[in-house]
Structure 1
Amino acid sequence: MIIQSLLDTDLYKFTMMQVVLHQYPAAQVEYRFRCRTPDVDLVPLIGGIREELEKLCTLRFTEEELAYLAGLRFIDSDFVDFLGLFQLNAKYVTIEPSAKANGEIEIVIAGPWLHTIMFEVPLLAIVNELYFRATCPDVGLDEGRARLRAKIAMLRDTPGYENARIADYGTRRRFSRDWHEEMLGILRRELGAQLAGTSNVWFAMRQDLRPIGSMAHEYLQAFQSLGPRLRDSQTAALEAWAREYRGDLGIALSDVYGLEAFLRDFDMYFCKLFDGARHDSGDPIAWGDRVIAHYEANRVDPRTKTLVFSDSLDIPRVMTLYRHFAGRCLLSFGVGTNLTNDVGPQPLNIVIKMTRCNGQPVAKLSDSPGKSMGVEDPDYIAYLRRVFDLPPSAL
């Protein structure tokens, strides 16, 4: 059984789910799977994915897990009570070979947002682990351990980077659950305070680490349907977040419509209200320079705000960004696949993204064209471009 706890997911699933429970419990959504790695045959895995899905749907939160969640300052008691009754239901998930007959698979999750939001991360972890079991059954972890210790030494032992801290963001694309847990234990022992925490709530509880996360793309995408009008959907999402958390969990995601559209909406009010912003596509140095200039233009000291970098980071990239921005703002780095799936074989680039909310298409148009989702509906994409004044490069 690959997933052994409903806590084995990213913190932002819980923080978004609490907003859904309190403010949008009737919302209906659809998610779709995509493998961005070319020439990968996932069809032989379908039976195994279905079996693991059925096992996932037998899990319930334990009393120990509920007590842990209740101890997080931003989790409300009524949400914990709801989670005490919560169980995933496989009826909301279909897994089939793609009609293209090219080795791709279709995973579609459709149903109430409140009851489907927890499928994404464990399903991606299941696909990854089954794939590597099937294609690399004899791969040991010695190579991964050696690579990990080289990364640790680079960050820990290079003068000038004593205050550079990283967090694990790699649950969705990990090589295996066991390697993920071992990797975090090594980081915890070897990096000490330079390990800021992990996005994975189960390992945060088991290894006494800080759980890290706020919002994901699906949250802002949903407001394309939930908001008062499309043009105001980004500000409506940020307002709803502020109503829920009253200043806590204040890292805003900046790339659902690209940086230009984000900065148009992220006015002085949001600059002062939110603790910072997260980068997840496009040139990170250009992004950070623009965000810092935006804070300054809105009479906010950027040294009091946190810039979070989380796009395909490795340790050399972390160090480059730290060197460029240190002293100009507060910094946080989320490293994913390069920590949890750098053991030898090429990692898979797989995602599950929201594609509809309340029957309406929703899309992500990031600053990295390959990371956009929802492009299957060209009419809707054209509409988004007009409404948010997006250049063609945003697609």
Structure 2
Amino acid sequence: MENIIQSLLETDLYKFSMGQAIYHNFPDYTTTWTFKCRNKDVKFTKEMVDEIKNQILAYCNLTFKEDELTYLSKVTWIKKSYVDFLRLWHPRYEDFTIGTDADCGLTIETNGTWLNTSLYEIPTLAIVNEVYFRMAYDYKELIASFEEKLDEKIKLLSDKTYNIGAFSEFGLRRRLSAEAQELAVKKLKEANLGDSIFVGTSNVLLAKKLGVNPVGTMAHEWIMCVGQGNHKHNPAYSNWYALDYWVKEYGILNGTALTDAITTDCFLRDFQLTYSTLFSGVRHDSGDPIEWGEKMINHYKSLGIDPATKTLLFSDSLDFKRANDINAHFKGRAKVAFGIGTYIANDTKVPALNIVMKTTACNGQDVAKISDVAGKGMCKNPDYVDYLQRCIDWRMTHEKV
């Protein structure tokens, strides 16, 4: 099998945004990341695991090329000091532990500096996905069904069956293959999409190759590690620490805040006038999107901020039908945008994998996400999840607003 990851640019843009903030503020933080396959009926064979090891080893032999760093440096908020760091950086295979002791037949864990391990997540998941689908199925049949479905869904935008406004492709971590993702982005770029607007892709390499915008926001790891990795912090204030460091790093640039790392209600306690003004918008990633959007609009109004000046970015398990309904509901009341992943990058005649790789420890301490719905979190220590929930509950109950 050819090398799946062919460039260190082949990751989501937010990995570089967070990476720069990590480099400047938390260069000595360490993290543990743990892989999990949520599909109950998926089994990775020994041959698949061996191929995954080979692919990750090949990825670890990559270094940045100068034209890639030149491209990255053109992103408005990327600084020369971080680009210079990347010039020397490459992945370390020694940071990976890969085995078979799991129900699905595959275990992956990475340990090392946050600077390193953060950048491993997306390429690792892309490798696991592509190895699985190429070895478990007839890949030619899958890519044919992928292209057929892609053409059908593009037609739904072209003939204005659906109007989803501004949207981006976010599917790198769960794509069928590099070939499939490139095909999707290329066709979306070239198609007449009616009233819908294709903004770009989270895949930086693909954005460079196809001349579209690289797009991305912060991820849960930022809030979890900044807020919970320092043992002196009360984790119920994770969002305050995370937002504060983000503004110190970027000012008013790159400002889309993720709301659900420790529930949106707790997030809103910290997302007061200064941050609500500085950040250009917020991202939804769990819970009912309509309820969440209404909550955000009411929050902005309560602060005297016109919600129509802010972006509501939706990115949770979307397809064009859901995006169309959300867009219609909020049209004219706020700027609405969508990040759509698996539905664009891995929609075939067989079910997509539901795989994740999450931060499970920072600086030797457990970290956890408690999102707006059960089941999206991942932590090795239930006692820590209980502690975090009690901290949140105490703050929400006792803190004067």
Name the SS for the 2:94 alignment partner: helix
Match of 1:12 in 2: 14
1:65 to 59, 64, 68: 68
1:373 to 373, 378, 399: 378
Does 1:116 pair with 2:120?
A: no
| Residue type of the alignment partner of 1:219 | W
2:85 to 82, 85, 108: 82
| Residue type of the alignment partner of 2:223 | L
Q: CA deviation at 1:137?
A: 2.2
Greater Cα shift, 293-302 or 40-49: 40-49
| Residue type of the alignment partner of 1:304 | T
Does 1:93 pair with 2:102?
A: no
Give distance in 1, aligned partners of 2:376 and 2:319: 18
Give distance in 1, aligned partners of 2:366 and 2:315: 26
Give distance in 1, aligned partners of 2:206 and 2:44: 28
User: Structure 2 length normalisation: TM-score?
Assistant: 0.93
Q: Unpaired segments of 5 or more residues in structure 1?
A: none
Match of 1:158 in 2: 160
**In the alignment, is the contact (CA less than 8 A) between 1:35 and 1:104 conserved in 2?**
no
Give distance in 1, aligned partners of 2:236 and 2:316: 26
Give distance in 1, aligned partners of 2:7 and 2:147: 25
Q: Deviations over 1:102-138 (max 9, x none)?
A: 3342211100111221110000000000000111124
Greater Cα shift, 188-197 or 317-326: 188-197
Name the SS for the 1:389 alignment partner: helix
**In the alignment, is the contact (CA less than 8 A) between 1:254 and 1:279 conserved in 2?**
yes
Q: CA deviation at 1:22?
A: 0.3
**In the alignment, is the contact (CA less than 8 A) between 2:156 and 2:162 conserved in 1?**
no
Q: Deviations over 1:229-262 (max 9, x none)?
A: 3232210110000000011011000111111111
Name the SS for the 1:369 alignment partner: coil
Give distance in 2, aligned partners of 1:191 and 1:40: 38
Q: CA deviation at 1:183?
A: 1.2
| Residue type of the alignment partner of 1:134 | M
Give the direction of change, closer, same or farther, for the CA distance of 1:58–1:295 in structure 2 (3 Å limit): same
Name the SS for the 1:118 alignment partner: helix
**In the alignment, is the contact (CA less than 8 A) between 2:72 and 2:78 conserved in 1?**
yes
Q: Unpaired segments of 5 or more residues in structure 2?
A: 396-401
Greater Cα shift, 225-234 or 361-370: 225-234
Q: CA deviation at 1:194?
A: 1.2
Match of 1:32 in 2: 34
Q: Deviations over 1:14-59 (max 9, x none)?
A: 0000001000000010000011111211242211111001100111
Name the SS for the 2:213 alignment partner: coil
Match of 1:386 in 2: 390
**In the alignment, is the contact (CA less than 8 A) between 2:162 and 2:321 conserved in 1?**
no
**In the alignment, is the contact (CA less than 8 A) between 2:96 and 2:108 conserved in 1?**
yes
| Residue type of the alignment partner of 1:221 | M
Q: CA deviation at 1:334?
A: 0.5
**In the alignment, is the contact (CA less than 8 A) between 1:136 and 1:345 conserved in 2?**
no
Match of 2:284 in 1: 279
Q: CA deviation at 1:217?
A: 0.6
Name the SS for the 1:79 alignment partner: helix
Greater Cα shift, 182-191 or 201-210: 182-191
Q: CA deviation at 1:152?
A: 1.4
RMSD: 1.6
2:215 to 202, 207, 212: 212
Give distance in 1, aligned partners of 2:160 and 2:275: 36
Give distance in 1, aligned partners of 2:113 and 2:146: 39
Match of 2:261 in 1: 256
Give distance in 2, aligned partners of 1:130 and 1:328: 44
Match of 1:21 in 2: 23
Q: CA deviation at 1:368?
A: 2.3
Does 1:188 pair with 2:193?
A: no
Q: CA deviation at 1:153?
A: 1.9
Greater Cα shift, 360-369 or 13-22: 360-369
Greater Cα shift, 128-137 or 185-194: 185-194
Give distance in 2, aligned partners of 1:303 and 1:362: 35
Match of 2:57 in 1: 54
- How many residues align structurally? 387
| Residue type of the alignment partner of 1:93 | F
Match of 2:150 in 1: 148
Q: Which runs of 4+ in 1 moved over 4 A?
A: none
Match of 1:240 in 2: 245
| Residue type of the alignment partner of 2:334 | C
User: Structure 1 length normalisation: TM-score?
Assistant: 0.95
Name the SS for the 2:324 alignment partner: helix
**Identity across aligned pairs (percent)?**
41
Q: CA deviation at 1:390?
A: 8.2
**In the alignment, is the contact (CA less than 8 A) between 2:30 and 2:114 conserved in 1?**
yes
Give distance in 1, aligned partners of 2:260 and 2:9: 27
Q: CA deviation at 1:150?
A: 1.9
